[in-house]
Amino acid sequence: MKILSSIISEWMEWTRSVAMQAGLRDVVSSTDFRCDLPSFKVPTLVIHGDDDQTVPIYAAGRAAAKGIANATLIEYEGAPHAIPVTHRDRLTQDLLAFIRGR
C-alpha cells in the first residue's frame, strides 16, 4: 500500500506541474463550461470519484452528466482525483464496456 501511495503522490505532482506549465489554473478555475454541455451530440461517459479533493464531484462530474443529454455517469465510491492510477483496472473495464455499448 505504501508503494501505491507513493505512486499516487508522484502522479498527482506530475499532473499538477503539467497543468501549471500550461497555464490551466486560471482556465479551469475561472471558466464556466456549462453552456457548452448541451452541444454534446455523441454518447458521453462521465467517470468521477466521489472523494475527489481536487475537483469535487458535485461541481464537475454530476454537473457535467446533468448538462449533457443522455450522458452516462459512473461514480467511483471513495475514489480520489487520480482514478487512472488508483482504479486502473475498473476504469479500463468501464471504458471498454461503454465503447462496446454495454
Domains: count for the chain? 2
> CA Rg, the chain, in Å?
15
**Domain membership of residue 22 as a residue range:** 1-30
- Are the C-beta atoms of 99 and 71 separated by less than 8 Å? no
Same domain, 25 and 63: no
In 3D, which of 15, 16, 69 has the Cα closest to residue 46?
69
- Are 52 and 71 in the same domain? yes
Query: Is the domain of 69 the same as that of 86?
Result: yes
* Domain match, 43 and 83 both: yes
Between residues 28 and 70, the one the model is more confident about:
70
Q: What is the pLDDT of residues 42-88, one digit of tens each?
A: 999 999 999 998 889 998 999 999 999 999 999 999 999 889 989 99
Within this chain, do residues 72 and 86 fall inside the same structural domain, yes or no?
A: yes
Q: Residue 90 burial (CB < 10 Å; 0-12/13-18/19+)?
A: middle
